[in-house]
Amino acid sequence: MNTRVLIILALVIAAIAGWFFKQQGEIAPPVSIAPTEVDYEATDIQAVQTNEQGETEYELNAESLSHDPNTNQDVMSGITMNWQPSAEQLYRITSGTATLNQETGDLHLYGGFSLASEDQAKTTQSGEKIAPITVTGEALKGNTKSRQVYSEQPVQVVQGSNRFEAATMKADLETGEYEFGQVAVMFTPAERQDKALF
């Protein structure tokens, strides 16, 4: 082949390539990725927190976790927490979403929560077994270091066959003491049964 044929062939290929690229239209600008506020993320979390004596204080399972370095908070979704603030008290906490500050211990559960005291075979003075308490609501705040939790939103409380609603709730999880505000109870008396006295 002579060089003239090669030059003409190269020009034809360049013309076809130019026409092809012109038909494709404008090239979109490259995607810009903004810096994120998250410095790490993880899924399927299983964590254990111990106290100063090395005893397990709580076990935490979460579907996902991300850490925000600006607020130093862990944001978790789909959490289940088994919390034992003292030898006598054990709680199971579930929530849709939660934030936890590891340094301060501040905990905020939202997207619905359930706080259930686990059965520790507690009995009354007469020997009857005490039913565990389950508190459910929309949001719960607390502190893992002080072992205090509270809700400023309405909660539903169930203990055995007893049920009531309260506008607010405070609890000391170490002692198992609860305080409820503006309690609403529905009372259904037993049906009247007429009996002859004689």
Q: Note if the pTM is more than 0.75.
A: no
- Residue-level pLDDT, tens digit, the chain, 198 residues: 578 877 888 888 888 888 777 777 665 666 666 666 667 788 898 888 887 788 888 888 999 988 888 877 888 899 998 888 877 788 899 999 999 887 888 989 998 999 998 765 566 667 677 788 899 999 999 998 888 999 999 999 998 888 889 999 999 988 888 898 888 876 666 676 777 666
Q: Give the alpha-carbon dihedral of 110, 39, 61, 77, to 10 degrees.
A: 30
The helices-and-strands tally (H runs, E runs) of the chain is 1, 10
Ordered by start, the domain boundaries in the chain are 40-184
Cα(13)–Cα(122) distance, integer angstroms: 88
List the one residue out of 49, 160, 144, 131 whose CA is nearest residue 98: 144
Q: What CATH number labels 40-184? A: 2.60.450.10
